[in-house]
C-alpha cells in the first residue's frame, strides 16, 4: 500500500462514511488502485454504502483474507465477517485486535490509496491505527455547527500528537437547497470549515451540500460519484480527491528530497 489515509472526525453523524466511499471511488475513477477499509468495528456501514449484498463473505485463503470487490474498489469491513444483526459487544482491546486483523490479514493488491473510514472519537481504534500502520495523512470531516467543530478540533489535535499530517478539512452539510423552490439555506451555520482550516493553517478541501439525493444514493449502495457523475456533488467529491492526490504528491516529494541525517558522535 503506497498511501494510507484516515477519514476521521471527533463525533458521529457528520458524514465520514459518505465522504470515505465517494473519495475512494473518485480516486479510483482518476486511475488509482484503491482499497476501502471500514474501521468502525461497532457500526460498520461501508458494505451497505458500496452495494455489497447482505451476507457476502470474503474469500479466505490459507494465509490471507481476500478483499471484497465493489465498484472497482477493494473493500474490507467488519460487516463482511458478522451478520447485520450481530453487535460487537467488545471492550477496547478486542476491537483493536479485530482492526489489526482486518488490516494485516487482508490481501490488499497493489493499492495506491487505502482509505480508512474511522469511527467517531479519539480512542482505542484511532490509536491502534496510528501506532500500527504508516498513516500517510488524515482528512477531517465536520459540519459547520459549533458543536461539530469542538470535536473536529480534538480529532485534529489527536492526529497532530501522533505526527500524522492533516491533509485538510471537508465541510459537510454546508447548505441545503430546497428541492421544491430552490432556496438555499445554511441550516447548520456557515464558515465553520473555513474557520477551523485557518485556525490550524490547513486546507479546506471542499464543501458538500446537505442533499436528499446523496443520502438516498448512499443508502442504495450507489454512492454519488458513480450514480450521478455529472451532478454538482460528484464534482465536489472529485475536486476533493484531486486535492488529496496533489497533497500526497507534495508530501511524498518533500520526503524524497530530504537528505540523509548525519550525526557525529564524540566517542
Please give the angle made by the CA atoms of 113, 152 and 214, to the nearest 5 degrees.
Answer: 60
Q: Which one is the CATH code of 3-240: 1.10.10.60, 3.40.50.300, 3.90.660.10, 3.50.30.50?
A: 3.40.50.300
CA distance 263 to 261: 6
Domain boundaries, the chain: 3-240
- Asked whether the predicted pLDDT for residue 87 surpasses 90, the reply is no
- Residue 104's pLDDT is 87
Beta bridge partners of 142: 171
- Asked whether the predicted pLDDT for residue 86 surpasses 80, the reply is no
This prediction has a pTM of 0.90
Task: Give the mean pLDDT of 205-219.
Answer: 93
Q: Could you give the 3-state DSSP secondary structure of residue 7?
A: strand
Q: Could you give the 3-state DSSP secondary structure of residue 247?
A: helix
- Asked whether the predicted pLDDT for residue 62 surpasses 50, the reply is yes
Any idea which of 12-26, 75-89, 190-204 has the lowest mean pLDDT?
Answer: 75-89
Confidence of residue 266 (pLDDT cuts 50, 70, 90): low
- Residue 259's pLDDT is 41
- Asked whether the predicted pLDDT for residue 183 surpasses 90, the reply is no
- Asked whether the predicted pLDDT for residue 83 surpasses 90, the reply is no
Amino acid at each position: 500500500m503506497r498511501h494510507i489515509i484516515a477519514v476521521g472526525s471527533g463525533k458521529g453523524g457528520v458524514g465520514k462514511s459518505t465522504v470515505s466511499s465517494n473519495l475512494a471511488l473518485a480516486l479510483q475513477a482518476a486511475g488509482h488502485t484503491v482499497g476501502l477499509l471500514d474501521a468502525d468495528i461497532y457500526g460498520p456501514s461501508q458494505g451497505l454504502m458500496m452495494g455489497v449484498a447482505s451476507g457476502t463473505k470474503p474469500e479466505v485463503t490459507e494465509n490471507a483474507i481476500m478483499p471484497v470487490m465493489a465498484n472497482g474498489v477493494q473493500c474490507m469491513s467488519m460487516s463482511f465477517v458478522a451478520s447485520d444483526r450481530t453487535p460487537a459487544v467488545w471492550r477496547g482491546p478486542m476491537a483493536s485486535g479485530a482492526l489489526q486483523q482486518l488490516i494485516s490479514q487482508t490481501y490488499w493488491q497493489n493499492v495506491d490509496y487505502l482509505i480508512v473510514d474511522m469511527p467517531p472519537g479519539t480512542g482505542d481504534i484511532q490509536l491502534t491505527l496510528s501506532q500500527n500502520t504508516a498513516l500517510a495523512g488524515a482528512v477531517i470531516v465536520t459540519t459547520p455547527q459549533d458543536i461539530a467543530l469542538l470535536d473536529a478540533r480534538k480529532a485534529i489535535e489527536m492526529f497532530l500528537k501522533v505526527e500524522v499530517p492533516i491533509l485538510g478539512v471537508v465541510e459537510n452539510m454546508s447548505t441545503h437547497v430546497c428541492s421544491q423552490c430552490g432556496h438555499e439555506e445554511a441550516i447548520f451555520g456557515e464558515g465553520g470549515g473555513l474557520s477551523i482550516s485557518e485556525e490550524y493553517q490547513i486546507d479546506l478541501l471542499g464543501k458538500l451540500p446537505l442533499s436528499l439525493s446523496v443520502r438516498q444514493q448512499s443508502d442504495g449502495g450507489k454512492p454519488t460519484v458513480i450514480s450521478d457523475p455529472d451532478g454538482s456533488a460528484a464534482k465536489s467529491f472529485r475536486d476533493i480527491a484531486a486535492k488529496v492526490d496533489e497533497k500526497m504528491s507534495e508530501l511524498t516529494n518533500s520526503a524524497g528530497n530530504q537528505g540523509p541525517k548525519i550525526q557525529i558522535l564524540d566517542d
